[in-house]
Amino acid sequence: MDKISLTEDTVNAYCAYLEHERRLSALTVKHYRRDLSLLTEYLSPRSVMEATPQLIRHMIGKLHAKGLGERSLSRLLSAWRGFYQFLIRRQLMTNNPCHDVRSPKIKRNLPHALSPDRAQQLMAELGEDALSLRDHALLELLYSSGLRLQELASLNRGDIQWDEHTLRVTGKGSKTRIVPIGRFAEEALKVWLGVAMERHPEATALFLSRHGQRLSMRSIQQRVSLRAQQLGLDDHVHPHVLRHSFASHVLQSSGDLRAVQEILGHASIVSTQVYTHLDFQHLAQVYDKAHPRAKVKTKKDNSSSSE
């Protein structure tokens, strides 16, 4: 079998497979393409077929030493492993050099969530101008329905089902799900759409810039951060914080992990279970404050008990 190099045609075929068969997002495919370029760079002048588990481990070690984090390294290995499996299915290779290479252990940090009071502060008294009405609607919707930033930015006016008080969302892997819209979010959306449709009746996007273009993810991030700064919130607030806040608050109130998983669009319930840890932290704090046998005795307590 001839040696195989990462030709543009081979990479394009793999990326087309990721997009059309595995239905990964355009952004994920872009990352995978970049990861394959890195594989070429580190293997050079060797061919793809000359990679061994030892070489792959050495490459991962070098990248880690350069400061690449565990999550990035794990995705890198996933991209390379998937690419070799793709070549094996095409009978261009017989073994996968990444198969026995373990992904770095990722430290799982608890997501940051706002308190219910702070979350509601973000929505209050934004103003009556067009941009304030738009920002009010997008903030309410982020917190009401737990959307990802990309999901919010890609929404169209036709995705809202007013009669059913729901929203059609296209998430990761181009998977569509239906999520509920809260009353406050629905009211804010109606006010914003009244302004938007008067100014830009031909637009299809739900959230528009001042020039009538679809509001970009970067702009949404900036508007959310700006709102938090205006209120003097100490927390670093970004759209995903509102998604975390939604999940944490609904789970604390309902205890229904499966329902939260469905609304968030998590493929695995393991991803949703992280919010049970947030809930447990809250319960632990309540326990420490309320239970007489949980409190750490102070010197004053000790002196009192000895009298």
Residues marked active site are found at: 148, 172, 240, 243, 266, 275
Under DSSP, the state recorded for 105 is P
Q: Is 170 helix (H, G, I), strand (E, B) or coil?
A: strand
Nearest to 166 by CA among 181, 156, 152: 181
Amino acid identity, position 114: L
Q: In what order do the strands lie in the sheet with 166-170?
A: 160-161, 166-170, 176-180
CA pair distance 269, 180, nearest whole angstrom? 19
Q: Do residues 84 and 32 lie in contact, with contact meaning Cβ atoms separated by under 8 Å?
A: no
Give residues with Cβ within 8 angstroms of 17, minimum separation 6. Answer: 86
- In this structure, the strands spanning 160-161 and 166-170 are antiparallel
Cβ count near 64 (within 10 Å): 14
DSSP E strand stretches across the chain: 160-161, 166-170, 176-180
What Å distances lie between residue 215 and 126, 150, 157, 227, CA to CA? Answer: 18, 11, 13, 16
